[in-house]
Amino acid sequence: MKIADLLQTATTRLANAGIDEPQANAQFLLAHVLGVARTWVLVNGAFEVSEKEEKLFLSLLTRKGNGAPLAHITGIQPFCGLDILVTPDVLIPRPETENLVEIISEKFEKKGHYTFVDMCTGSGCIAVALAVKFPNARVLAVDVSSAALQVAAQNIRKHKLTERVDLLQSNLWENVMGTFDLIISNPPYIPSANLDNLSREVKEEPRLALDGGADGYEVTRPLCRAADGYLNPGGWLALELDDGQPWPLARGLAEIDWKAEVKKDIFNVERFVLAQKR
Ligand code: GLN
């Protein structure tokens, strides 16, 4: 079948299955099967897809129609211009988190010999992106989940960062030693009661990576409470949080003498807290 016809059939099937952005998803999936970029698929509508490729595409389309996230099917999610390997053991990197990396990066010199720690690293996306952006930095990537750390390890190897990115299994600060110029984290922050309202696709992601406990701050709170002792003078704390969470946290930090800013994400949601100990 021709690419254009196949995409039309696929888009209709995904739309009928109630999948968001059916056309884009169909294009990404076909590009994945053909081993090409999505743009190639868009400009080569007359190209004939082999029977084998068509069969594979249709089977992946069925998985997508049944609610599997695209990144679970392709095994990859782009993040800060890098391909990050993803499995169901880790949160799929989000554009908001790319935003956090961009915003905090402006606070540091490109060539600086910094030490950064990424708490709740999951796939390792933040740690890897920072290590790529800051070629002289060392990054410690921490997670409580050994399954997540295995994925992070693959990403560190894939991006040839084993010399500068270390992995540590730890429940927050429990096993962490040393001090850092930046503590960055996209912790689980969704209040437990809201987890049932998440979309079908987000429910395919690990609950551990999403569940912020009763009020959504049950991971963030101990993370911040001990942060002071792990920061070098002038060091930064940078967090991604849920809509509505940054101001109460920023005010709490200000009360204990931190200088805290709240920043918006690309969707105009106040989502980030950047803070420095005075
Ligand atoms: N941003 C994610 C979501 O919308 C949540 C990530 C998190 O809890 N850190 O599902």
Structural domains of the chain, ranges and CATH numbers in brackets? 3-67 (1.10.8.10), 76-277 (3.40.50.150)
Looking at the predicted structure, is the pLDDT value of residue 278 above 90?
A: no
Nearest CA to ligand 1 atom 5: 210
Give the pLDDT of residue 133.
98
Q: Mean pLDDT of all residues in the chain?
A: 97
Nearest CA to ligand 1 atom 1: 94
Give the pLDDT of residue 136.
98
Mutate to test the pocket of ligand 1, among 77, 186, 194 (most ligand atoms within 8 A of CB): 186
**Contacts of the segment 33-42: beta carbons below 8 A, 24+ positions apart:** 33/57, 33/60, 41/3, 41/7
Give the contacts of 127 (CB within 8 A, at least 6 positions apart). Answer: 116, 118, 121, 139, 140, 141, 152, 156, 165
Rounded CA separation 25/14 (Å): 8
Q: What are the structure tokens assigned to 60, written together?
A: 């992946």
Please report which confidence band the pLDDT of residue 30 belongs to, taking 50, 70 and 90 as the band edges.
very high
129 lines ligand 1 (CB under 6 A): no
Please report which confidence band the pLDDT of residue 262 belongs to, taking 50, 70 and 90 as the band edges.
very high
116 lines ligand 1 (CB under 6 A): no
Give the pLDDT of residue 53.
97
190 lines ligand 1 (CB under 6 A): yes
pTM here?
0.95
CA of 32 to the centre of ligand 1 (A): 25
Please report which confidence band the pLDDT of residue 277 belongs to, taking 50, 70 and 90 as the band edges.
confident
CA of 64 to the centre of ligand 1 (A): 20
Q: Phi, psi (5° rounding) for residue 224? A: -75, -35
Please report which confidence band the pLDDT of residue 62 belongs to, taking 50, 70 and 90 as the band edges.
very high
